[in-house]
């Protein structure tokens, strides 16, 4: 009978074969997602790569163990900031935030700067802000002056940190229209 370590190594080899990606590539995609909690990473792997629970759980465990102390500490600080932003009744909004981050991370690398009540997303300049506006709504600020307002893409008063905002109350509202506006802002900020 194989030892536990041998079984885990075989499982990791099988995960790479099933996904067509090396561990390094998979770890890079997890890092790019901006997710820090074990359950969030595991669920993203299950969704994005159609992994079974066991494979996603094992890969998440190995990924988190691979982080050095500095990265783990930084991840914990960011995680603590999200916990303070999405606390109490606002905790139910965290899946919407996580879905936004998974999708925005597909655009490319950027800086995530947690603030007291929102998260700032930056390249050379801020391109978006994400944070709970109420216990049931997240506002996404979009920093792109050349967009045209619509009933959904609401123009903000002059002098606001972002000229437009989109309010989200449901994870299904993280759709191609919103992501297109965010991508335009991302491209302009780089």
pLDDT, greater one: 5 or 166: 166
Q: What is the DSSP string of 103-167?
A: HHGGG---EEEE-SSSEEEESSSEEEEEEESSSS-EEEEE--TT----SSSEEPPTT-SSSEEEE
Assess whether 54 and 142 both reside in one domain.
Answer: no
In a domain, 84, yes or no: no
Assess whether 117 and 178 both reside in one domain.
Answer: yes
pLDDT above 70 coverage of the chain, percent? 91
Euclidean distance between CA atoms 138 and 79, whole angstroms: 18
Euclidean distance between CA atoms 171 and 98, whole angstroms: 9
Query: CATH number of the domain that 166 lies in?
Result: 3.90.1150
Assess whether 51 and 122 both reside in one domain.
Answer: no
Q: pTM surpassing 0.85?
A: no
Domain count, the chain: 2
Q: Among 25-29, 77-81, 117-121, 127-131, which is the least confidently predicted range?
A: 77-81
Residues 16-34, mean pLDDT to the nearest whole number: 89
pLDDT, greater one: 110 or 184: 184
In a domain, 184, yes or no: yes
Cβ–Cβ < 8 Å for 157, 149: no
Q: Among 66-75, 100-109, 145-154, which is the least confidently predicted range?
A: 66-75
Q: Is 168 helix (H, G, I), strand (E, B) or coil?
A: strand
**pLDDT tens-digit profile of 32-64?**
888 888 889 999 999 999 999 889 988 988 888
Q: How many CB atoms lie within 10 A of CB 134?
A: 12
């Amino acid at each position: 009978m194989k030892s536990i370590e041998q079984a885990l190594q075989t499982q990791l080899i099988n995960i790479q074969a099933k996904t067509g990606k090396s561990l390094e590539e998979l770890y890079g995609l997890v890092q790019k997602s901006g997710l820090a909690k074990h359950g969030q990473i595991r669920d993203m792997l299950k969704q994005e790569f159609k992994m079974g629970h066991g494979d996603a759980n094992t890969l998440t465990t190995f990924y988190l163990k691979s982080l050095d102390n500095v990265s783990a500490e930084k991840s914990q600080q960011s995680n603590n900031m999200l916990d303070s932003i999405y606390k109490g009744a606002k905790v139910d909004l965290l899946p919407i935030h996580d879905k936004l981050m998974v999708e925005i991370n597909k655009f490319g690398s950027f800086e995530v700067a947690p603030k007291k009540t929102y998260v700032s997303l930056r390249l050379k300049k801020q391109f978006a802000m994400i944070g709970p506006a109420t216990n049931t709504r997240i506002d996404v600020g979009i920093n792109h002056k050349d967009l045209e307002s619509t009933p959904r893409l609401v123009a903000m008063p002059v002098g606001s940190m972002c000229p437009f905002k989109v309010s989200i109350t449901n994870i299904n509202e993280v759709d191609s229209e919103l992501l297109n506006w965010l991508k335009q802002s991302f491209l302009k900020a780089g």
